[in-house]
Amino acid sequence: MTTSETATERYTIGKRGTDGRYPVAVDGQHSGDIHRFHREWYARPLGSAKESRHDDRHAAASHLVDLVDSGAVDPAATPAAVPAAPERGIVPWLDPRLNPTRRNILSAGIALGRIAELAWLPQDKNGNGTGYPGSDNPWELTCLISGTVVFRWWSHLRGRNGDNTPRPVYRHEGCIDFADQAAKVAALVGEPPTGCPCREIDHPTTAEDVGKLLELAERARRIDDTDALRPLLTQLLGPCPASSARAEAMKAFLPQPKG
């Protein structure tokens, strides 16, 4: 295995892409990429969809050096197309890498309600749903004003330090003029209902109903009952015109700041 000092001299970490990944060159040749997800780093060698987990970015990049030295990665070869990861979550509204814990469900529901108010749709260019990935990870969203697919961070969209202004305020390059965006969003979103109007699924919009479903979901998760968990997550996270009211109800279950 390459020593830390030697590895550092041989790899170069490039600028982060819109998908949150950093390209890594080993001995001047592109050899894969690394990215951060929930305080851990992952390395993906060139031409592969498989990722390995590491403690920090240095360890992740050093791992790619080891793969080059072992012959598992050939930076001089023509890059192979990276196959799409086959993994799918229990429901499409929560990233499969996030466990459906109480806190993750609440964070996802609140985020989904807010992006609906801002006229974003969690969907990629192929029309597939993209699950909530956590606050500090890139989220693939479709702009309902222009239909453009971009990556955004929920930590930016929700605002910071009590400021509810989403960032960047200009949405994305090529969108309609900034001065016209607020009116367009209001026209697209309308006045969200306070109660679920869906016919087939009863989405909760009160703290009492949210609490009951959270308890059932936690019980199903602990015994690994996916069949029972899936419809509960659909109620808590699935698309609903009243997602804003559902998100407000969910906020009652967030940890209260210490006074």
CA atoms of 40 and 53, how far apart (whole Å): 7
More confident position, 39 or 216? 216
Confidence of residue 7 (pLDDT cuts 50, 70, 90): confident
Q: What is the largest CA-CA distance in the chain?
A: 62
More confident position, 50 or 63? 63
Which residues touch 227 (CB under 8 Å, ≥6 apart)? none
More confident position, 32 or 39? 32
H helix or E strand, kind and range, residue 156: helix 154-157
pLDDT of residue 46 exceeding 80, the answer is: yes
Q: Among 179, 152, 185, 183, which Cα is nearest to 167's? A: 152
Give pLDDT, residue 183.
96
Q: What is the pLDDT of residues 135-158, one digit of tens each?
A: 888 999 999 999 999 999 999 998
Domain locations along the chain: 4-70, 102-253
Q: Which two tokens stand for residue 156?
A: 């930016």
Mean pLDDT value across residues 243-259: 89
CA atoms of 80 and 72, how far apart (whole Å): 13
Integer-rounded Cα Rg, in Å, for the chain is: 21
Q: Identify residue 39 by its one-letter amino acid code.
A: R
Question: Is residue 4 within 8 Å of 58, Cβ to Cβ?
Answer: yes
Q: What is the pLDDT of residues 178-199, one digit of tens each?
A: 999 999 999 999 999 999 999 9
Would you say the C-alpha torsion 183, 185, 186, 187 has a positive or negative sign?
positive
Domain range 4-70, CATH class: alpha beta
Q: In this structure, how many other beta carbons lie within 10 angstroms of the beta carbon of residue 98?
A: 20
Q: Which two tokens stand for residue 182?
A: 């607020």
Mean pLDDT value across residues 239-250: 98
Give pLDDT, residue 79.
62
Q: Among 127, 105, 123, 115, which Cα is nearest to 171's? A: 115
Q: Among 229, 210, 213, which Cα is nearest to 90's? A: 229
Give pLDDT, residue 249.
98
Confidence of residue 86 (pLDDT cuts 50, 70, 90): very low
Mean pLDDT value across residues 109-133: 94
pLDDT of residue 4 exceeding 90, the answer is: no
Q: Which two tokens stand for residue 216?
A: 């059932």
pLDDT of residue 44 exceeding 60, the answer is: yes
Pairing of strands 11-13, 22-26: antiparallel
H helix or E strand, kind and range, residue 22: strand 22-26
Lowest mean pLDDT among 55-64, 67-76, 89-98, 117-126: 67-76
Lowest mean pLDDT among 31-40, 104-113, 178-187, 237-246: 31-40
More confident position, 210 or 6? 210
pLDDT of residue 1 exceeding 60, the answer is: no
Q: Among 190, 192, 147, which Cα is nearest to 172's? A: 147
